[in-house]
């Protein structure tokens, strides 16, 4: 296994524009989207000193993608957990509705018996 790629550019400024891009700073999205429309293929986009840069060197991109592989795997894992939690949330909502309905029935029975 290769050692992780170390880049002198701060993490918050690096972007690899790929279809499954996970990293972003909301202020940079417009610039990244504009670059995607103009530049074919994958690229590394970063801003340093207020100036934007693009790298398309295949070797550099391979290192960046390798370096991000653990983050991508973790993101995929977190997506799975999110889907599970969504399902649990739906079950909890249904239980809440059932409890409200049951509580309403109890209140109506108490009102009739009083």
3, part of any domain: no
Query: Distance (Å, rounded) from C-alpha 69 to C-alpha 93?
Result: 36
pLDDT-derived band of residue 8, with 50, 70 and 90 as boundaries?
Answer: very low
- What is the pLDDT of the chain when averaged over all its residues? 77
The pLDDT of residue 7 is above 60: no
Contact 34, 98 (CB under 8 A): no
Domain range for 40 is: 11-113
Burial class (CB in 10 A: 0-12, 13-18, 19+), 33: exposed
40, part of any domain: yes
Radius of gyration of the chain (CA): 25
The residue behind tokens 């417009």 is 30
Q: How many domains does the chain have?
A: 1
76, part of any domain: yes
The pLDDT of residue 11 is above 50: no
Q: What DSSP state is assigned to residue 72?
A: H
29, part of any domain: yes
5, part of any domain: no
The pLDDT of residue 13 is above 70: no
- Provide the whole-model pTM: 0.51
How confident is the model at residue 30, as a pLDDT? 81
The pLDDT of residue 51 is above 50: yes
How confident is the model at residue 52, as a pLDDT? 85
């Amino acid at each position: 296994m290769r050692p992780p790629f170390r880049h002198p550019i701060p993490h918050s400024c690096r972007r690899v524009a790929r279809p499954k891009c996970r990293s972003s700073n909301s202020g940079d999205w417009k610039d990244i989207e504009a670059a995607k429309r103009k530049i074919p293929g994958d690229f590394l986009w970063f801003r340093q000193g207020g100036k934007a840069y693009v790298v398309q060197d295949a070797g550099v991109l391979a290192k960046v993608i390798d370096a991000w592989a653990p983050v991508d795997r973790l993101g995929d894992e977190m997506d799975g957990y999110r889907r599970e939690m969504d399902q649990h949330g739906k079950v909890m909502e249904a239980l809440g509705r059932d409890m409200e309905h049951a509580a309403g029935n109890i209140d109506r029975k108490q009102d009739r018996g009083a």
